[in-house]
């Protein structure tokens, strides 16, 4: 694994029950890039993300993240290592406020005294979220909800973000805004792997 590679999958085999979905998947993701995984529905894109993030056991092969073997790590260990995962669909707490949704991203922060500072940083990065901080998350548009999910993931200051279909169900204008934010994150050194 070269120094400019942050994530490597080496012949990864994974699946559900008796069904194998990933059958020897190999990939190398460079640091501070946006890399896209493309393929038809059912090809194993989301399965790959789940295996990388520790939500699905790797049957054989190896996952290396930031120079360390993370093949058998749990999602909590992956968060601690600097990876976050924004799954497909809407993953917010609709009855809670926008601010509370962001704060919940900090549950895994080792230093809880920094939570307020990190939430404030997200409000600064995403002014729309500051404007709607006290509104119920369910009142946000689909694109705004996706930005909320991204902000919650960024709360932990990750090195790598796995984002599953960030543009699904969004208007063309909101798609542009989401991708503009992802490019900005890349320019600040965050590696983005997206479906």
pLDDT in tens, 48-75: 999 999 999 999 999 999 999 999 999 9
**Element (H or E) spanning 47, and its range?**
helix 45-53
pTM: 0.91
Is residue 172 very low, low, confident or very high in pLDDT (cuts 50, 70, 90)? confident
Q: Which DSSP category does 32 fall into?
A: T
Reported as a single tens digit per residue, the pLDDT across 110-163 is: 788 889 999 999 999 889 999 999 999 999 988 889 889 989 989 888 999 999
Q: Summarize the confidence of residues 77-95 as an average pLDDT.
A: 91
Residue 99 structure tokens: 């601010």
Q: Which domain holds residue 33?
A: 5-194
Strand partners, 64: 8, 69
Sheet with 19-30, side-by-side order of all strands = 19-30, 5-16, 60-65, 68-69
* Domain CATH for 168: 3.40.50.300
Strand partners, 118: none
Is residue 1 very low, low, confident or very high in pLDDT (cuts 50, 70, 90)? low
Per the structure, the count of domains in the chain is 1
Alpha-carbon distance values, 143 to 14, 100, 110, 150 (Å): 32, 18, 30, 11
Complete DSSP assignment for 50-76 = HHHHTSS--SEEEEEETTEE-TT--HH
């Amino acid at each position: 694994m070269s120094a400019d590679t942050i994530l490597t999958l080496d012949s990864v085999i994974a699946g559900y029950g008796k069904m194998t979905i990933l059958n020897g998947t190999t990939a190398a993701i460079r640091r501070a890039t946006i890399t896209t995984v493309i393929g038809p529905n059912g090809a194993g894109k989301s399965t790959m993300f789940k295996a990388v993030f520790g939500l699905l056991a790797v049957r054989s092969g190896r996952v290396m993240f930031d120079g360390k073997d993370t093949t058998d790590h749990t999602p909590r260990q992956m968060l601690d290592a600097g990876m976050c995962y924004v799954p497909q669909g809407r993953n917010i707490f609709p009855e809670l406020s926008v601010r509370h949704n962001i704060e919940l991203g900090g549950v895994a922060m080792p230093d809880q005294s920094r939570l307020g500072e990190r939430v404030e940083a997200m409000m600064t990065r995403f002014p729309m979220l500051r404007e709607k901080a006290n509104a119920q998350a369910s009142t946000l548009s689909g694109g705004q909800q996706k930005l909320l999910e991204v902000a919650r993931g960024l709360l932990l200051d990750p090195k790598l973000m796995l984002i599953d279909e960030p543009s699904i169900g969004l208007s063309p204008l909101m798609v542009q805004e989401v991708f503009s934010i992802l490019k900005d994150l890349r320019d600040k050194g965050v590696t983005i792997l997206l479906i």
